[in-house]
Amino acid sequence: MTVPPGGSTPADNPDPSVRGFWPEDARAGAPADVPLLSRTAHDRGHLNRLLDDPAQGRPVRVLHVDERRNVPVADAEGGPLLQWDEQAAYPAGAIYLGEADGVPYAALRGEQTAEVGGRPVDRWTGLREVGAALSDLDAGLLAETIGIVEWHERNRFSPMTGAPTTIERHGWVQRDPDNGREVFPRTDPAVIMLVHDGGDRCVLGRQAVWPAGRFSILAGFVEPGESAEAAVAREVAEEVGIRVTDVRYVSSQPWPFPQSLMLGYVARAIDLDLRIDDDEIEEAHWFSRDELRSGTGPQALPPSVSIARSIIDRWVAGEFS
């Protein structure tokens, strides 16, 4: 996958020595639902964004986010929980996330602390590491938080005049002070696709910045004037030099690193001889279901939080071909 203009940041590609979210798991084939990482369990409360106080006087649960997009987590018996800071009133500078069961939620950028809301923090960690183990509510709120924080960090100036923007609607609008134009959060559509041979093999590739031995399915951004299906065919041809057919949509997943919506596909290869574009990826190979199932293929596969892993597991289990 190529990187949009502006490049990546240390938050996107942490040093390998601290990449705790890259699993050593090299076995595939236990399909599960794609982790939602989506705000299906709470209401975005868009009309409340217009109010001076989106919480309307109610106590607010606030999620603190550090500069590396880590958040406080409590390790409970039933699994990890986001550690919310219960505040009596909506805090200044917060980003409004919406509400669930009558409880308003917000996010606030800051530094890591040993305690949040008077309670010790078990650990500070990120969406990649903990997202798959969170409840739908916490996962959706965390994905929304990371996505909107990334937007603010990368869009501090008007794309029209270059003037520093002002923040409105509790984090959901930036305004150009020179011409009054509004700038809204954006999401970049990207395709991610498992290419198979119609039989028992699929293509997996790796980028040079990834940990050694880690492979995944191919991916790339949708370009202006291009359908998602056309992007699948183009990216596969550019990255590994083969043509595909039978392009089929599978599912989607928000991936706020920094601001993508991953559109999952499968496709059948017409050609089988891989010709690698060294500018796109470092390495790519055909792997069999048995290799992925037994762990004798790549040393590591994508983390369980990702749609990439879900598609691989489903294909290994016999779906799609």
What share of the chain has pLDDT > 70, as a percent?
Answer: 88
Complete domains list, the chain, with CATH: 46-154 (3.90.79), 187-316 (3.90.79.10)
Residue 11: is its pLDDT beyond 90? no
Residue 14: is its pLDDT beyond 90? no
Q: Are 144 and 103 in contact (CB under 8 A)?
A: no
Residue 15: is its pLDDT beyond 80? no
* Chain center to CA of 279: 23
CA distances from 312 to 9, 34, 65, 291 (A): 28, 11, 31, 12
User: What are the DSSP calls for 139-207, one per residue?
Assistant: HHHHHHHHHHHHHHHH--B-TTT-PBPEEEGGGTEEE-TTT--EE----EEEEEEEEE-SSSEEEEEE-
Spatial separation of the C-alpha atoms in residues 141 and 73, rounded to whole Å: 13
CA distances from 169 to 47, 93, 155 (A): 9, 11, 16
Give residue 159's pLDDT band: very low, low, confident or very high (50, 70, 90). very high
pLDDT score recorded for residue 27: 64
Residue 26: is its pLDDT beyond 80? no
pLDDT score recorded for residue 2: 36
Tell me the per-residue pLDDT of 33-92, one tens digit each, with 9 for 90 and over. 655 688 889 999 999 999 999 999 999 999 999 999 999 999 999 999 999 999 999 999
pLDDT score recorded for residue 24: 47
